[in-house]
Amino acid sequence: MLPSVSTTHPTTPVPVSSAAAPSPPGIVDRLRAAGCVFAEDEAALLVAEAGDDPAALDTLVTRREAGLPLEHVLGWAEFHGLRVVVRPGVFVPRRRTEFLVRQALALAPRAAVVVDLCCGSGAVGAALLAALPDVELHAADLDARAVRCARANLGPAGRVYRGDLYQPLPARLRGRVDVLVANAPYVPSAAVPLLPAEARSHEPLTALDGGSDGLAVLRRVIADAPDWLAPGGSLLVETGRRQRAEVAATMAAHGLTPRVAICDDWEATVLTGRRPTG
């Protein structure tokens, strides 16, 4: 039986300013016709982004009508109370991943070194850094566009590297990482065609496809984690709920003590693997 906690979290909508200007006539209709379920909310965000420039607003709405994710059109995503820069071709941070941040923060009050692997836009690292401004934060991703975006989001307080998993990290971090977070791709290859068109068309396959059972990248993350974690340090990964037993078993096989946390409201599953102190 896996040690497990289940929790709920109030869903937080993307805040729309109550002082938002009313959308010019037709904008909501255009977005609705393009299939946007939350057309009113999206219109308010696009109007706010365009300011008083009708041509800019038309450009934004046209890009959204063409199927770009809202966050790529706006250039930012709401994540854990932050506005995170999200550029075209970079994975849009999902609200459910705030649960990974919350789990990490619960472990992190005394953390000195934090690593965000597979960092994408750097959203997770940025959220951790905002809450723990004194930590030494390192982030890494394979994708050059993601690395540029993460550098924009982390600023001078974070160090961002490009490369395969742990390969670009400074060797001096071995055995010193207190909190290692990795929201790696975990969608099984056969399920990728079932993802929303916005994700399939505008996010890189390397950000989504986790191989035949979805765990190809995560197995590699777990296998090398004990070399990088400090004694008592923890690896935290997001997975699909049905993957939790396999991920926990993989953690245990590599000497990490697994724990499962589930957030029903956000349909989020986080596995924590702690390196024993002894």
What is the contact surface with ligand SAM in residues (CB under 6 A)?
Answer: 91, 93, 97, 118-121, 123-124, 141-143, 146, 164-165, 183-185, 206-207, 217
Of residues 233, 242, 252, the one with CA closest to residue 186? 242
Decide the pairing of beta strands 268-274 and 229-239: antiparallel
Closer residue to ligand SAM, CB minimum distance, 24 or 168: 168
Q: How is residue 70 annotated by DSSP?
A: H
Q: How far is the CB of 210 from ligand SAM (least distance, A)?
A: 9
Q: How far is the CB of 60 from ligand SAM (least distance, A)?
A: 23
Q: How far is the CB of 15 from ligand SAM (least distance, A)?
A: 19
Closer residue to ligand SAM, CB minimum distance, 31 or 147: 147
Q: How far is the CB of 21 from ligand SAM (least distance, A)?
A: 30
Paired tokens of 163: 């490369």
Closer residue to ligand SAM, CB minimum distance, 16 or 142: 142
Q: How far apart are CA 143 and CA 160, in angstroms?
A: 12
Paired tokens of 188: 């099984």
Closest residue to ligand SAM: CB criterion: 120
Closer residue to ligand SAM, CB minimum distance, 23 or 97: 97
Q: How far apart are CA 105 and CA 44, in angstroms?
A: 32
Q: How far apart are CA 201 and CA 169, in angstroms?
A: 31
Closer residue to ligand SAM, CB minimum distance, 28 or 181: 181
Closer residue to ligand SAM, CB minimum distance, 27 or 123: 123
Q: How far is the CB of 76 from ligand SAM (least distance, A)?
A: 13
Q: How far is the CB of 213 from ligand SAM (least distance, A)?
A: 16
Q: How far apart are CA 29 and CA 36, in angstroms?
A: 10
Q: How far is the CB of 199 from ligand SAM (least distance, A)?
A: 10
Long-range CB contacts (within 8 A, 24+) of 148-152:
148/87, 149/85, 149/86, 149/87, 149/90, 149/120, 149/121, 149/122, 150/116, 150/119, 150/120, 150/121, 150/122, 150/125, 151/122, 152/85, 152/122
Closer residue to ligand SAM, CB minimum distance, 185 or 214: 185
